[in-house]
Structure 1
Amino acid sequence: MATLHLMVGLPGSGKTTRAKELERALPAVRLTPDEWHLRLFGQDLNDPEHDTRHSAIEALLWEIAGRILIQGVDVILDFGFWSRTERDEFRSRAVQLRANTIIHYAPTPIEEILTRLAARNASLPATAFRISEEMILKWAQMFEPPADDELAASKI
């Protein structure tokens, strides 16, 4: 049975690094929307169309993920999954495809995230957005860490 791996966390929390490790170890197909977004639209975080574009990319990646899961191959969705509602929705989608779900979340203190983002912004890779301290502090207020029951329920 295939497994859908949900990478949960804010930018700079280590999700993509862990997703790449999982991709090699499992094996699995990793889908990271930021990489697709940046290739298609560049550094457009301040563009009014950014969120619409990003949502369209995530929808397309889910379509791809669903087809892969049906084939019995693990998929790693590196979306961030900031809310329980969103995580619940994707767990439900996995169940409909007869796939398991695992949540991958490592709590990362905001100070560590800010340090990592400053370093990343200083030598920005082509696969990452430039994220300001103001943005991440705002997003941290919106982020809903997974509850213990979510993490326990996601283990196979």
Structure 2
Amino acid sequence: MVGLPCSGKTTLARELEQRYSALRLTPDEWQVRLFGQDAADPRHNGRHGLIEALQWDIAERALALGTNVILDYGFWAREEREDFRARAKRLGASSEVHFLDVPAPELLRRLAQRNAQPGLSFHIAEEMMKPWIERFQKPGVDELQRRNQS
């Protein structure tokens, strides 16, 4: 799943999870359950990285068993997408990129809506989101049309 917060990644990931009998791994859900709304905590990013590493360990085993896996990570950078595509290929698994391209004004509208409804998503201040929009590397046509085959 590729996209910024509020782009609809987790909603689509849940649909794909059902359609493909897949294991969906969404780090934010684990983070909120384990640590609460800790986005302002300096330890947040480190914790998030540890959760993603643990989830990848689980994903590796599931892929080895022939189970479909959905990584609901965001994958903001092409380098990160390529790394995980290569990891899947080394395991003999195919990979697909599902990109949700949502314009910035709509992301900010959805963010305000999301922040008004507590749940398993992080509260994200608009001031945090704006630089993320600038840093995000949209996948190119080559990434979207390519599918790693096992």
TM-score by length of 2: 0.97
Q: Distance in 1 between matches of 2:82 and 2:148?
A: 14
- Out of 65, 90, 98, the position equivalent to 1:71 is 65
Shift of 1:132: 1.2
Q: Provide the residue aligned with 2:36 in structure 1.
A: 42
Instruction: Give ranges in structure 1 of 5+ residues lacking alignment.
Output: 1-6
How much has 1:138 moved relative to structure 2?
A: 1.0
Shift in Å, 1:123: 1.4
What aligned pairs does 1:1-156 form with structure 2 within 5 A after superposition?
7-125=1-119, 127-154=120-147
Equivalent position SS for 2:73: strand
Take 1:155 and 1:106, find their aligned partners in 2: how far apart are those partners? 19
Structure 1: 4+ residue segments shifted above 2 A: none
CA contact (8 A) 2:31 2:51 kept: yes
Q: Percent identity of the aligned residues?
A: 54
Alpha-carbon distance, 1:154 to partner: 2.4
Aligned mates of 1:115, 1:33 — CA distance in 2: 23
Number of aligned positions between the proteins: 149
Give per-residue Cα distances to partners, 1:121-141, cap 9 Å, x unaligned: 11121x100011111101111
Residue type at the aligned position of 2:76 = W
Question: 2:105 & 2:118 partners in 1: Cα distance?
Answer: 19
Residue 3 of structure 1 aligns with which residue? Answer: none
Task: Structure 2 unaligned segments of length 5 or more: list them.
Answer: none
